[in-house]
Amino acid sequence: MKKSKSGVKTVVIPYAVLGSLYIILSDYLVKHITSEIHDLFLFGVIKGILFIIFTSILIYFLVRRHTSGLRKLNKNYLGVFMSLPEPVIIVDNGNGKIEAVNLAAQLITKYTPDELNGMEVETLLMKGEKTLNLHEVSIDSAQKRKVTNCRLINKNKDVVPINLSVSKIGGIAENTKSALILRDLTELEKNRSQLSEQKGRLEEIMNGVDSILWCYFADENTFQYINQSAERIYGIPLHKLYADLNLMLDKIIEEDRELVHKALTQLNLGKERYRKVQYRIHSKSQKHKWLETKLWADTVKECSKIRLRGITTEITHLKEYEHNNEEYIKGLKRFAFLTAHEVRRPLTNILGIINLIHEEDPDFIENSSYMQSIDFAARELDDVIKHLAAQIEEAEKERKRLSRNNND
**pTM for the whole structure:** 0.48
Average pLDDT, whole number, for the chain? 79
% of residues, the chain, pLDDT over 90: 19
Of the pLDDT bands very low, low, confident and very high (cuts 50, 70, 90), residue 93 is confident
Of the pLDDT bands very low, low, confident and very high (cuts 50, 70, 90), residue 292 is very high
Of the pLDDT bands very low, low, confident and very high (cuts 50, 70, 90), residue 357 is confident
Q: Please check the confidence at residue 266 and state whether its pLDDT lies above 80.
A: yes
Give mean pLDDT, residues 175-191: 86
Range ranked top by mean pLDDT from 122-131, 227-236, 352-361: 227-236
CA distances from 323 to 316, 319, 326, 327, 328 (A): 11, 6, 5, 6, 9
Give mean pLDDT, residues 241-263: 90
Range ranked top by mean pLDDT from 5-9, 69-73, 117-121: 117-121
Give mean pLDDT, residues 165-176: 67
* Residue scoring higher pLDDT (100 or 65): 100
List pLDDT tens digits, range 247-256.
Answer: 988 999 999 9
pLDDT on residue 327: 73
List pLDDT tens digits, range 188-232.
Answer: 888 888 888 888 887 777 777 889 999 988 888 788 889 989 998
Q: Please check the confidence at residue 183 and state whether its pLDDT lies above 60.
A: yes
pLDDT on residue 172: 47
Of the pLDDT bands very low, low, confident and very high (cuts 50, 70, 90), residue 291 is very high
Residue from 403, 408, 395, 355 nearest 379 by CA: 355
